[in-house]
Amino acid sequence: MRNRIGAVRAMGLRALVVGAAAAGPLFAVAGPAHAAGTVDNSGGRLVISSTTTNNAVTVSVSGTNLVVVDTLTTLSAGGSCTQVDAHTVRCPSAGVADMSAVLGPGSDVFTNNTVLPSLVFLGDGADFFQGGSARDQVSGGGGNDRMSGNGGDDTLLGGAGTTDRASGGSGADACTAEIEDTCES
């Protein structure tokens, strides 16, 4: 039984890695030279990408908008999103069905305070992920990561670290980490 679970987890990790490679062009949103990160909403998806630096990203809802704040890195607005200040972008939430984020190397924090499902690649570094109430799929990359899925059927993959910690929360969650809590597989 354990080998079957390991095989399922390995397939999930491969799917996330292949998804990251295929999604690469989605994250090639040009921004001003001074911006270290970009936020765009196109094709029904909120897309957040950043360069090789530390990030502290929070996505939340304000009225009919999604608000993305990165307290550590400057952001640039794309698509129908608008720049609020150097660290804040506001995007209309109408038509947005999910979100994806690629944060790259660095010690990153990502908090999903929405009901949107997310696909998040944290990259190398000591990262922290706090999921929302829907399905979250997270790859921590190298480093010692802490991931909390909260609601939804989450997939939390710690990656190459020695003390990755995954807590699935409610839902049928799949976790791969050295320390797992409330993970069904």
pTM assigned to the model: 0.82
Domain boundaries, the chain: 2-181
In what order do the strands lie in the sheet containing 155-157? 75-77, 37-42, 45-50, 98-102, 118-121, 136-139, 155-157, 174-176
- Look up residue 101 and give its two tokens: 């984020």
The model's pLDDT over 104-124, given as tens digits with 9 standing for 90+, comes to 899 999 999 999 999 999 999
The model's pLDDT over 126-177, given as tens digits with 9 standing for 90+, comes to 999 999 999 999 999 999 999 999 999 999 999 887 899 999 999 999 999 9
- Taking alpha carbons only, the member of 37, 34, 55 closest to residue 46 is 37
